[in-house]
Structure 1
Amino acid sequence: MTAAPLPLRRKLGWAVGDFGFNLYWQTLNLLLMPFYTDVLGLDPRLAGTVFLVASLWDGFADSVIGAIADRTRTRWGSYRPYLVFASPAVAVCFALCFLSPSGGAFAEQSGLFLYALLSQILMRTAYSVVSIPYSSLSARISGDANERASLAGWRMVFAFSGGAAVTYLMPTLVERAGGEGNPFAYVIAAGAVGLLSLPIFWLCFLETREPPREVELNPVGFSLKAVGDDARTVGRMLRLNGPLMRVFACIIVSSLAFTMTNKALTYYVNHTLERPDLRDTLVPLALIANLMFSPFWAWVARKRSKRDAWLLANVWSAVAYAAFWLIPSRDPVIAALLLTAVSAANVGYQVLFWAMLPDTVEYNAHVTGQRHDAKVFGLASFAKQLALGVNGFLFGWLLFAIGYVDGVDVTPATADGIKVIMTVVPLIGVVLSAMIMWGYRLDQAEHARVSRATEQGVEPGFEQT
């Protein structure tokens, strides 16, 4: 693996893949919960439970898929083939998530709950089969910490471009397909989005180069020995890799807290601002702000350190969330400005997470003697999915607690409660993530030292936390 600067073409060739992934992910994150509660008519508590159970399954699947990807051997590499051969399954499963079954068992809440759960589990499994190998590539295509910060910045540019595009595209396609009166409108829209993603994944495959492994894992397949080896490997990583555990803890807190803003946004526009006509403007606005500020956070990480950039994002987020919470105005212009301020800060966590995570792969090689790229990314995805699942579950119960019921007029207290959900809960997360990140010390200089020590065969030191 080379530490030489990557050509811009290679950076963009890898980063463009996240445009395709976020056509799916931002739809699930921003639009699926309102689809469950307002189109399917699923109780918000049951809808939240769907997200919890599906995310728990997703986290388990991510770890398994990471282990399988690490042992995959083809002439195209370990990770790149998944972008071509598994991506069509994601498009099919995505469309199934937006089917509106009716009649028979689906006339009851239990039937709708079961269908929503099974379809989302299927979708998340297919998604992980492609996304875990894709993310693992970031630790293979460059070994330079600054290049990885640049890669993470470009990745987020494409990620939020895809998210902004789909938040406009999905409602438009649904309307063109007949609106909510057509039971297949959402399926048609989701199918079109899935087809759009496929050439993006194929382009990523063509433009990405995966260097050969310096140290080969024995591709022993699905034997009990392989399972035992992988379990022991994971145990050692969790015990010895202090930087990885801090990154895990921060992404759990971030995903649990800050995603409340995204999940509540549609409800906030519809019921707190009472401007559903602005939904297709304000929801993409948050992602456009993410898109615009992604390069800024990558730049701060290169100029200072990833830890300092994270703490700066904490300060910015705290001020923005406090202002959003305390300013009583429901003027859409003021709401848009506050939402932009929050989103501009929050994108920092995503850029920095994906920039930090590959660095922990080298640290893992230093303290354990093996890289295990996909296992690291699989565990990170498990941590993130666990937090997102708890987030969805908690959000559903919070909606119930403030009195939100589909088809029933929203009271002023409920409208205010939606605003509290999307500001106060994340504000708590800001404080917690700052406390966790304070002790992170794997900056550019330390990463370079660890990489050199690993290459020279120097015995690891365990002082890093």
Structure 2
Amino acid sequence: MSEIRPLARRGMLGWAVGDFGFNIFWQTLNLLLLPFYTDVLGLNAALAGTVFLIASLWDGFADTVIGAIADRTRTRWGSYRPYLIFASPLLVVAFMLAFLTPDWEQGGLFLYALLSQIFLRTAYSLVSIPYSSLSARISQDSGERSSMAGWRMFFAFSGGAFVTFVMPQLVQSLGEETQSTTYVLAAGLTGLISLPFFWIVFANTSEPERLRDANPSGFTVAASVEDFRATVRMAFANGPLVRIFGCIIVSSLAFTMTNKCLVYYVTYYLERPDLVPRIVPFALVINLLFAPFWAGVARKIDKRTTWLVANVVSVVAYLLFFFSTSRDPVVASLLIALISAANIAYQVLFWAMLPDTVEYNAWKTGQRHDGKVFGIASFAKQLALGINGALLGFLLVTIGYTPNVEQTADTLWGLKAIMALIPLAGVLLSGWLIWGYPLTRETHRAIVEGSYDAQ
């Protein structure tokens, strides 16, 4: 029987602030790297989308391996915290390399973009999977995890808003005429800003001694086989995790399709490229403001019900956006704000629900497998982003998108359809999947306390 102890505010915020640092990399990868490939590097949009697909599939594989490695790591600082200190400098180096602009033909550009993005994603996972796994260690209270997820998303989108504003400004101030080094320098400067946030997490969290041996240790061939078998067992035994797996695939597809098109929408539909450094961060600021709101709703009612409420708001927001004919930046910003306010709920709820499946897994299989759970879930996100990148690149070609020229009316209509109708389908499918999610707050507490009776 395990007693649930409240987490001190210092530990909660000390952990959550780390996502400010992570989103310096993630939001740049998610929002700015595709336009960088097509409009700066000169890579064909379909090839750029293929880069995202292949790199995301690799990322999903790497996440599961890194999760297993982190579970088996044993140091005097714990299993997960050391990665925040010792692996994070490698992430900054990988970030810089992703923005090199070699003067090569399409084949060479494709290969460089692919390899540099694989390196970036692997380095990112080496730090982020252990970081995420900490959330299941430092708190075992389901409601408290909703607050943690809300604060995490608050800092995440603070970091995202920061980098989407600062990166273009740095590029402009460093001089666009020297693009071969401008983007690398801008990436290096913003990357260095992330490091203190990882150090703060390390300093303000601790891994409970009683959970030190909750997972197997040792690195052998037999251990690798056992980790593979454990992952397969989770796929069959952990029903809540499988549902979240499906939900995050379809909701990430929806959420990211809108975000990745936002730069194109502002540049070509609104015909205001000068507003990109303002509207894109504005959408992230809305995410930032509503993350604590959805966390509070989840604490007061139920995570599953909160997801369904967010579905309703998303459907209304996407329909209003699609059928609006206004090109007024103010009207566009309000519609984008409504979409962003609803969509942030899925990010908050994903990170609030996922740690609960760790204890469910321990109840079903006898071991927690924290890192594996987060690795599998991260694989789901990467799969969604890979599909998203490839699909978006294909769709941009299909609607006749041509970089750096005025777009036709049909292309602009197609752009809005990509931003609204595909995400709308994903939102509806996620609602259908989450309808049968069984892990309530009361059920989770009973599992943690050892009093749960499945009958």
- Tell me the TM-score normalised to structure 1 length: 0.96
Name the residue aligned to 2:183: 186
Listed as ranges, the matches of 1:59-138 within 5 Å are 59-102=60-103, 106=104, 108-138=105-135
What is the rounded CA distance, in whole Å, between the counterparts of 2:139 and 2:57 in structure 1? 31
**Residue equivalent to 2:273:** 276
Q: CA–CA distance in 1 between the matches of 2:249 and 2:372?
A: 17
Change (3 A) 1:83 1:379: same
Q: Please tell me whether the aligned partners of residues 174 and 189 of structure 1 are also in contact (alpha carbons under 8 angstroms).
A: yes
- 1:220-369 equivalence runs, <5 A: 220-221=218-219, 223-369=220-366
1:32 Cα deviation after fit: 0.3
Query: Which digits, 9 at most, give the CA deviation of each residue in 1:315-364, with x for residues without a partner?
Result: 00000000000111111110000000000000000000000000000100
Q: CA deviation at 1:199?
A: 1.1
5+ residue gaps, structure 2: none
Q: Is the 8 A contact 1:298 1:351 kept in 2?
A: yes
CA distance, structure 2, for counterparts of residue 328 and residue 180 of structure 1: 37
Letter in 2 for 1:32: L
- Label 1:414 to 1:435 Cα distance change in 2 as closer, same or farther (>3 A): same
CA separation in 2, counterparts of 1:282 and 1:60? 34
Whichever residue aligns with residue 257 of structure 2, its letter is M
Q: Deviations over 1:416-446 (max 9, x none)?
A: 2111111111011111000000011211111
AA at the equivalent of 1:38: D
Distance in 1 (CA, whole Å) between partners of 2:364 and 2:64 is: 20
Check 1:413–1:78 CA distance in 2 against 1; reply closer, same or farther (3 A cut).
same
Paired letter, 2:201? C
Cα deviation, 1:212-253, whole Å, max 9, x if unaligned, reads: 2264434220x2211111111111111011111000000000
1:48 CA displacement:
0.2
Moved over 3 A (4+): 214-218
2-structure distance, mates of 1:346, 1:401: 26
For 2:78, the aligned partner's letter is G
Match of 2:217 among 216, 219, 223: 219
Pair 1:378–1:327, CA change in 2 (3 A): same
Answer whether contact 1:2 1:142 (CA < 8 A) is retained: no
Identity of aligned residues (%): 63
**Which stretch of structure 1 is more off in the superposition, 393-402 or 409-418?**
409-418
The amino acid that maps onto 2:193 is: L
Please tell me the residue identity of whatever aligns with 2:188: G
Q: Which amino acid aligns with 2:80?
A: Y
| 1:20/1:64 CA distance change after superposition, 3 Å | same
Partner residue in 1 for 2:38: 37
Using a 3 Å threshold, how does the CA distance of structure 1 residues 35 and 429 change in structure 2: closer, same or farther? same
Task: Give the corresponding residue for 1:209.
Answer: 206
Query: CA, structure 1 residues 131+277, in 2 after alignment: closer, same or farther (shift >3 Å)?
Result: same
Write the letter of the residue equivalent to 1:298. Answer: A
SS in 2 for 1:353: helix
- What is the one-letter code of the residue matched to 2:134? L
Q: Is 1:441 aligned with 2:438?
A: yes
1:142 correspondence with 2:139: yes
Give SS of 1:183's match.
helix
Aligned partner of 1:371 among 363, 368, 378: 368
DSSP-derived class of the 1:140 partner: helix
- Find the residue that maps to 1:406 and give its secondary structure: coil
Moved more, 441-450 or 208-217: 208-217
**Cα distance in 2 for residues equivalent to 1:180 and 1:363:** 55
Q: Which residue does the alignment assign to 1:53?
A: 54
Contact 1:39-1:180 within 8 A present in 2 as well: no
Say how many residue pairs are matched: 453
Q: Name the counterpart of 2:29.
A: 28
Unaligned runs of 5+ in 1: none
Aligned mates of 2:178, 2:334 — CA distance in 1: 34
